[in-house]
Structure 1
């Protein structure tokens, strides 16, 4: 139901930052979404996506209004509006038909992550049908840092206490565009005298304002971290008491770091040794906070790179202390969505879970022992296309545009088009939903109730459903549990996986018994009791019960238990490849107007950022006789396919490197792919390895590439202003 006119506290969920918001209703419609200055986590920080994108997503013309069934061939653009009953019955029947012919593991789900309820819903739906397979995007964003945190036993991801720090070490992150809460917290810390060290090949706003900016060659950050470790140990700047009491493997780490003195790190990274030494001393003079981003997630050595920095956090004692990296706390009895995926009550038999695609090669990522139990996405795509190790023939997608966000767009589109059945739940038509058999309309963050944990503020957050869903759109919980009940009537035992009747009942299950539900709804957040540094009771989640600088979990799967250096792709390439592909491509640059592939169909966002851009250094542009605004084709050494981007000549990117964003498609373009085969950088990126040996993540940065001017008549967007 729609609430009476007034202003209500809520939490924005357009990304995972969880900014506190105030939503104003007038005449039964949302009149304004803005920041909540009283929210203890965001403290009034908010971004344009929450202000503009969320209302447009809810009321905009692009929103899907009814369930739809495809008419004619895939991608024809012809649809029939159908009822929810028709849509869910057809999905149930089609999934069961595929299961009967190919087996339960031939069904797969796909979501962006398990950080919101849709992840648990999709995974549980697959399990209720007997399939262990579901995919998420976290191998491309956040997965390496999470696995490093897991195998080290820290439990600090998301717990950056930036506002109280004396020194922020910011690596591969542009918080001004990616996280307004973190950025404003950093600015307040700097105003109080805190120092900042930025490690980033791009000249971001954080780099411009840093006390020390280390500009490495892409993919060499781990050498800097190990060199800083060597300096801190050599000069006895580490926290000896903390190391002796709460870590294991210090001597092994010391020996490994001794191979990376600052002079060697300079040779590998291009960063002056003297600057590395100064940075190490500054960081050791804490409390200091490690702030990391996608910049080091996007490499096939991502886990070990994060491991090096996580070890740096540990040996300096910056764990669960004010101004350091806080361990994630929870209220008593609180469950997050990942807990559900590992709970015995919702698990498949071990012999079934072991069939998860990719579990044999990446057991800490995929399958029952994996971080979120998801499958390995590239292995799923191969199973769709070639039937090995077994066929995958039907997919259920919710809230993710995988045709655009996965690397190797041509391969992904081919896989999706070859499926026997594809159902997609979405807010709007995307290149993924355009080739579906059934499309379902989802609720937005103004229409659905959600609870989540803010690990940096140590509070529980509440997303308030202030209005009735438009045109009968339904939440993931609502239509997934409805689908489960229909499957139950068809003989599938789904009740064990979906014991809740309502979303309120589900949220109460998550909250446990400490959180004040009434207070949570009233103010949009609720506190809970916790202690910092209570390691004796709140033990480290590792085999040894300590922070493992030498990781038993990695050693157990045959991976180097210590962080190590792997040369970036351009350095591994032979002379011929270097000559043909002389530039290093950096992808994933964040934009304030977009979140991954979202909002390309919103006019305000396209006005602010109308084109897919490629940043090129002035010297490189001059050498190719290119000017700002020229259209170029970018091709990597991985694939023959090219993406088309409009260049921005800027010193923000280093000479020899070119930098772009991600997620581009053109809703106005013809064809089901909606321009994604032209302007999406994933067209030029491979998903077939080399892979991180822990997460199975592919390189999406630091890739050799070349740039070619394209004729005017081949530009994908005619307006070149």
Structure 2
């Protein structure tokens, strides 16, 4: 059988794969042992690509909802009808009456988010949303508030110390730059530890990475700022920070020192729920390393103080000078990212949100760079007035499971004049509420580049993969759909390289060249350099950190924005919630990618439910038996779940995966067996005032029986 090289697009890791085909079908996917980065690694999710492509539930034609449910419709006809319904809305209510949501799966298509953003910008709507503002907006949008290092931060491959705060990359396959890359993460972490890496993990449960840590800090959910402030207190008091680097490049040290003065090791450890000795040892271990970064995951960022947490993590890295210096190779070369100088200097602090950015009508929230926070979408749909959203196009997303307050999101979708989903199935919780479902190509049927995963590559690694399977039926790539709508509406698609041609839809390679114009090597050149789909490593393109520019004066500012005053306010707050003694935290599943994959047989067999993991002693105190159906209630709502004993959790904590649940099924019906945790969440209270991120972890809850 023919075997071709490609890379997986089930998630953002983009693992190198070998694809075996028989005629027009893919029969097997395996790891590519010759790949210099992945070395043959794949995960169980990626190996299900054959079933995913040929699954009986997969849509091979677009769908239109009629009186008796969905009926097939030619995609071009569907685009005609959708455009015909959008035009009068735009003419009467303006372009802000249309919203675009680029969900998790739009990121797996290298043209997905770029074309979605271009469509929104061409239309002129301020209502462009992505899943980034649902899980980790602070990481993306607030770090630049304090300045950034032009030469890049330390990479994991050269680290002698690493600090993971609420991230479990062995399961999630997600580690931010400087964290554990998603390339055979378990083996890579174990090898690094064997070679001398010191590992610190802060997590309320003994996760896969925490089990390997030299110091595991089982922090109380939502109290990461106390832990981090206590560690910074130790580092400043014991002068363990990089004094020369701080003197040369950092302002705001006095303000930070004053803010953490109330978080002595004893006070910080008590609030964080960890050992004072371990907190001090962790601070000394991290500061004592020569290279290595602190990095966060979704857990602490979704726990109500995401921006404050990220500020303190940035402060740790800045104080310890964890950056590439002059003459060293700069980290994360990024072939498909615009070329920027890599210098031994600070990029000036900049605000990527707030004054001057398009504003929502709700909660004082504004655009975060180019997008509106997902926190406001339901209210923007449900509330009449200028700018009210009347049509929503969801591309590779599942807002019913991803957004806070499932019942409210259901009401919002029901209130729309037009709801269009781009989805491979009609059975999804969100898709089945659509007026139209546009059926897209899947990964092995389209060209792509490794632009999403290049934020983890420590070498100048790039891939261009061609489509391996022919188009099965009347299907389009997402960018082709949006080009078709823009053509019919008479709007354009502004891209990095200029306006997309609108006389005829460009092929994927030409579109990608426009979308990432100004990058180090254009996609078309990478394609030409590797016609057989192998990766290309552009060794000569690895930037070296250059000297600072003469007269350069920008410095990190640790007192910028609302920080560190927010830390002082946090220290005065009482985090207790009367009547809700437990905190529910989110977790990742190795057998799902958010809400995706549950219909595939091998993954469904591994996880038949979404249990509520609880410490055995807590279960005994509640009188709850292992496997018993319980109700978990928050101040906002409740869900059903099967209780599961888990000694890896600290007491007082319940852990459930997000991306599950279906409001159209009862608690004892499959595929429910564990509700959506977003039913416990309101986006109007407890949200981050900067990013708008809802409290989606560390949720105050109580357990009810019967």
TM-score bin (small chain)? 0.7 to 0.9
Q: Is the 8 A contact 2:444 2:468 kept in 1?
A: yes
Whole-angstrom distance in 1 between the partners of 2:10 and 2:568: 36
Following superposition, the deviation at residue 159 of structure 1 comes to 6.9
Following superposition, the deviation at residue 425 of structure 1 comes to 0.6
C-alpha spacing 1:706/1:31, structure 2 compared with 1 (3 Å): same
TM-score, structure 1 length as denominator? 0.85
- Matched with 2:14 is 18
C-alpha spacing 1:643/1:359, structure 2 compared with 1 (3 Å): closer
> Which deviates further from its counterpart, 283-292 or 530-539?
530-539
- Matched with 1:507 is 512
Following superposition, the deviation at residue 382 of structure 1 comes to 0.7
Q: Is the 8 A contact 1:230 1:258 kept in 2?
A: yes
Q: Is the 8 A contact 2:375 2:404 kept in 1?
A: no
- Matched with 2:66 is 71
After superposition, residues 83-232 of structure 1 pair within 5 angstroms as 83-112=74-103, 115=107, 116-154=110-148, 161-179=155-173, 180-181=182-183, 182-232=185-235
**Per-residue CA distance 1:20-49 (angstroms, 9 max, x = gap):** 222222334222222223334434332111
Q: Is the 8 A contact 1:163 1:186 kept in 2?
A: no
Q: Is the 8 A contact 2:583 2:652 kept in 1?
A: yes
Following superposition, the deviation at residue 284 of structure 1 comes to 1.3
Following superposition, the deviation at residue 215 of structure 1 comes to 0.9
Following superposition, the deviation at residue 642 of structure 1 comes to 1.9
After superposition, residues 218-617 of structure 1 pair within 5 angstroms as 218-286=221-289, 287-320=291-324, 327-331=331-335, 334=338, 355-357=358-360, 361-363=364-366, 366=367, 370-371=368-369, 373-388=370-385, 390-429=387-426, 430-453=428-451, 454-457=454-457, 458=459, 459-488=461-490, 492=491, 497-499=499-501, 501-509=506-514, 510=516, 512=518, 514-515=520-521, 516-517=525-526, 518-528=528-538, 529-531=541-543, 533-534=545-546, 536=548, 545-551=554-560, 554=561, 559-561=562-564, 564=567, 567=570, 571-573=574-576, 577-578=577-578, 580-587=579-586, 589-617=587-615
Where structure 2 has 5 or more consecutive residues not aligned to the other structure, the ranges are 174-181, 341-352
Following superposition, the deviation at residue 463 of structure 1 comes to 4.1
Secondary structure of the structure 1 residue equivalent to 2:450:
strand
C-alpha spacing 1:677/1:565, structure 2 compared with 1 (3 Å): farther
TM-score, structure 2 length as denominator? 0.86
Following superposition, the deviation at residue 247 of structure 1 comes to 2.6
C-alpha spacing 1:539/1:614, structure 2 compared with 1 (3 Å): farther
C-alpha spacing 1:451/1:196, structure 2 compared with 1 (3 Å): same
Whole-angstrom distance in 2 between the partners of 1:257 and 1:539: 33
Secondary structure of the structure 2 residue equivalent to 1:109:
strand
Whole-angstrom distance in 2 between the partners of 1:8 and 1:304: 46
C-alpha spacing 1:205/1:110, structure 2 compared with 1 (3 Å): same
What value does the CA root-mean-square deviation take over the aligned residues? Answer: 3.3
Q: Is the 8 A contact 1:70 1:436 kept in 2?
A: yes
> Which deviates further from its counterpart, 698-707 or 156-165?
156-165
Whole-angstrom distance in 2 between the partners of 1:584 and 1:42: 37
Secondary structure of the structure 2 residue equivalent to 1:311:
helix
Secondary structure of the structure 1 residue equivalent to 2:199:
strand
What number of residue pairs does the alignment pair up? 660
C-alpha spacing 1:104/1:511, structure 2 compared with 1 (3 Å): closer
Secondary structure of the structure 1 residue equivalent to 2:443:
coil
Q: Is the 8 A contact 1:633 1:642 kept in 2?
A: yes
Whole-angstrom distance in 2 between the partners of 1:513 and 1:209: 38
**Per-residue CA distance 1:297-320 (angstroms, 9 max, x = gap):** 102310110110111111112123
